[in-house]
Amino acid sequence: MWGQERIALYNETKRHYNRSESEEEEEEEEVTRENGHDKQVIRRDISISAMGSLKMPSQRPEYDITNLKKEFHVSDVMYFSKCGVEAIIEDDVTQCFTAEELKSWNFLTRTTLGYQFISMRLTILWCLGCFVRYFILLPFRTLVLCTGLSWLIISTAVLGYLPESNLKKRLNQKASLMSHRLLARACSAVLTFHNRENIAKNGICVANHTSPIDVIILSCDGCYAMVGQAHNGFLGIVQRALSRATSHIWFERSEVRDRHLVARRLKEHVDNEDKLPILIFPEGTCINNTSVVMFKKGSFEVGSTIYPVAIKYDPRFGDAFWDSSKMGMLSHIFQILTSWALVADVWYLPPMMKNETEDAVNFANRVKKEIARRGGLVDLEWDGQLKRTKVKDAYKLKPQEEFSKLLKVD
């Protein structure tokens, strides 16, 4: 907090000599947003006069479509153009895939406004923090990380030669917990697990997704079967080693697109109570620890019982979000290893049952809403694949229909 106060004092002194009256108003709005009172980028007028003579139903109870037709002017088109520009600037989809904004400086970045000089004392503190993170913590964490990965591969490979029995399951559980806890120590993870009586023993476990580290976090407290695409290289070696010790589901690239094959293999795994619970991230992509986007319905079509888990990271000690469009896996791991710590809370929610009159989509939305509520996240309806693909026509038609109801006259 001392560093943040120094930055604020520096900015205040700079504003006193260099800004005009209009710039002062913009700075006041920025400070208000940083304090959490207003998260909008654009300041909007309270009145509806910005849209000309067009009146919205919520502003005028005696509204009817005939009056709208008489009052409409060509200039009212500018209101809808303004709404479109505001939607582009403040869209909550893009905000889900960018690093979370912090209210205070955590000494990880040079300053909150970029690499600029504030004071000599603050610069010395930042340099000391870099020395501790890169020259003391990083080598030690790298050694622990290599030890954990080696133990994971060797132990699972050795267990693969044992016959199927309860002894093999117990040994695999102990080896898995030990290796994943070593990997968590490599990130200086400080984990708090809530309501552990609700932890999944079998079936399907779903959770919100911030980073591949989520798997390590959850595996520190229980064993899970993984579902994913088969890979080559080092990741393929890890997958094959894990499959020798217990049942995991790896799909080839051509099989992933076959929904029936995926559903059948998941169903076979879920129906076998002797197998580990399947850990699935229904969002299909990583979100920046502030929101939960649409859950894919596939995992909710397989089983009628779902074990939800909510994960929330504390961004003050490090950013756990993996932006796969800007950094690779190694860069993300390096970012985690050079942060202060990985602090997270995990809530095991009570199992949720699918109602008889409920389809897979509604069931997925109900589970998503509960995870968002417990984790203090924003519940959004957007498809996470908007991060990589174009917007579907159905999403474009919906706002067009809403606008047409205001303007179209039969």
Using 50, 70 and 90 to split pLDDT, how confident is the model at 181? very high
Q: What is the pLDDT of residues 350-377, one digit of tens each?
A: 999 988 888 889 999 999 999 999 999 9
Residue whose structure tokens are 């976090």: 217
CB 377 within 8 A of CB 291: yes
For CA atoms 284, 286, 289, 291, the dihedral sign is: negative
More confident of the two residues 359 and 106: 359
How do beta strands 305-313 and 352-353 pair?
antiparallel
Taking CA atoms, 391 is separated from 93, 205, 388, 396, 402, in Å, by 11, 29, 10, 7, 18
Pairwise CA distance, residues 101 & 180, whole Å = 29
Q: What is the pLDDT of residues 130-156, one digit of tens each?
A: 899 999 999 999 999 999 989 988 888
> Quick one: which of 72, 81, 82 has its CA closest to 44?
82
Domain ranges of the chain: 16-96, 120-376
Pairwise CA distance, residues 99 & 368, whole Å = 22
Pairwise CA distance, residues 211 & 20, whole Å = 43
CB 303 within 8 A of CB 270: yes
CB 322 within 8 A of CB 289: no
Q: What is the pLDDT of residues 41-92, one digit of tens each?
A: 565 544 434 444 444 444 444 444 445 444 556 676 777 778 778 777 767 7
Which regions of 161-288 does DSSP assign to beta strands (E)?
Answer: 189-194, 204-207, 225-229, 249-251, 278-280
Pairwise CA distance, residues 379 & 365, whole Å = 9
Q: What is the pLDDT of residues 299-342, one digit of tens each?
A: 888 877 899 999 999 988 888 898 887 888 888 899 999 999 99
Pairwise CA distance, residues 285 & 293, whole Å = 9
- Most confident stretch, 92-106, 282-296, 392-406: 282-296
DSSP at 196? G
